[in-house]
Amino acid sequence: MIKQQSMSTQAWLELCLLSLIWGASFLSIRIALNEIGPLTAVAHRAGWAMLILWAVVLLRGLGIPRDLRIWGAFLVMGLLNNVIPFSLMAWGQLHIETGLTSILNAATAIFGVVVAAIFFADERLTARRATGVGLGFVGVVTAIGLDAFLTFDLRSMGQLAVIAGTISYALAGVWAKKRLSGLSPQVAAAGMLTGSSVIMIPLATLVEGPISLHLQPSTWLSIAYYALIATAFAYLLYYRVLKMAGSGNLMLCTLLIAPVAITLGATVLGEELPLRSYFGFGLLALGLMILDGRLFNRRKD
Answer for the pair 142, 279: CB distance below 8 angstroms, yes or no.
yes
Summarised one tens digit per residue, pLDDT across range 238-253 is 988 888 877 777 777 8
Q: Rounded to an integer, what distance in angstroms lies between the CA atom of residue 301 and that of residue 283?
A: 22
- 249: amino acid identity, one letter: N
What does the chain come to in residues? 301
Q: Find the range with the poorest average confidence among 46-55, 142-151, 212-221.
A: 142-151
Position 297 pLDDT exceeds 60: no
The percentage of the chain sitting over the pLDDT mark of 70, rounded to a whole number, equals 94
Q: Rounded to an integer, what distance in angstroms lies between the CA atom of residue 133 and that of residue 109?
A: 9
Angular region, 263: left φ>0, alpha ψ -120 to 50, beta rest: alpha
Residue extents of the structural domains in the chain = 9-292
User: Of 259, 252, 248, nearest to 103 (Cα)?
Assistant: 259
Summarised one tens digit per residue, pLDDT across range 153-179 is 899 999 999 999 999 999 999 999 889
Summarised one tens digit per residue, pLDDT across range 187-241 is 999 999 999 999 999 999 999 999 999 999 999 999 999 999 999 999 999 988 8
Work out the pLDDT band at 295, boundaries 50, 70, 90: low
Q: Considering the entire predicted model, what is its pTM?
A: 0.91
Phi, psi of 43 (to 5 degrees): -60, -45
Q: Rounded to an integer, what distance in angstroms lies between the CA atom of residue 259 and that of residue 265?
A: 10
- Of 152 and 67, the structure prediction assigns the larger pLDDT to 67
Q: Considering the chain, what is the average pLDDT of its residues?
A: 91
